[in-house]
């Protein structure tokens, strides 16, 4: 089941984020709490047998790329913006490579289309470019983002 996050999901979301990303890249509990409070309708959870095993979230913006300030300041969220960003796509390690990330991404794309967005944006590591291209994202090259001191690639999916 895919559903919108609630404040009661904070602890589970923070635990999942910590499992899925290195500490330097993971959103901490405080950041996730702000996201849940500010844009719960852009924060989806995937449950299997009542356990949260996946999530996808990101603010809405008019920008065509993710900049580091979007991660740091939830006030940059513009509910009327053109693009749904993807800050994180997390699937519990025990459930990876079983199609759950695809389910979450398809749900986010469908939601963005239904809301009249122009598309979605995200950053990813080089080895994930092909995964996102399979959804129709286009690689725009190396990102200006220095989040977590990692080389990121800007990806955009335009409708």
3-state secondary structure of 51: strand
Say if residue 159 is exposed, middle or buried (CB neighbours under 10 Å; 0-12, 13-18, 19+): exposed
CATH number of the domain at 32, please.
3.40.630.30
Query: What is the C-alpha to C-alpha distance for residues 78 and 92, in angstroms, rounded to an integer?
Result: 29
In whole angstroms, give the CA distance from residue 14 to residue 35: 12
Boundaries of domain holding 133: 2-158
Q: What is the pLDDT along the chain (159 residues), one digit of tens a residue?
A: 999 999 999 999 999 999 999 999 999 999 999 999 999 999 999 999 999 999 999 999 999 999 988 888 888 889 999 999 999 999 999 999 999 999 999 999 999 999 999 999 999 999 999 999 999 999 999 999 988 889 999 999 999
Kindly report the pTM of this predicted structure. Answer: 0.94
Total of domains in the chain: 1
């Amino acid at each position: 089941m895919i559903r919108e996050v609630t404040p009661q999901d904070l602890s589970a979301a923070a635990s999942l984020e910590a499992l899925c990303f290195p500490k330097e890249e993971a959103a901490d509990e405080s950041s996730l709490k702000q996201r849940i409070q500010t844009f719960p309708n852009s924060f989806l959870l995937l449950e299997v047998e009542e356990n949260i095993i996946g999530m996808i979230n990101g603010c809405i913006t008019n920008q065509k790329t993710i900049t580091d300030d979007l991660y740091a300041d939830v006030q940059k969220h513009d509910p009327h913006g053109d693009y749904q960003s993807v800050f994180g796509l997390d699937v519990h390690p025990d459930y990876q490579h079983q199609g759950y990330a695809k389910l979450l991404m398809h749900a986010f794309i469908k939601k963005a289309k239904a809301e009249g967005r122009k598309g979605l944006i995200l950053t990813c590591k080089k080895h994930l470019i092909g995964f996102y291209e399979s959804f129709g994202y286009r690689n725009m090259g190396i990102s200006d983002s220095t989040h977590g001191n990692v080389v990121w690639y800007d990806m955009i999916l335009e409708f």
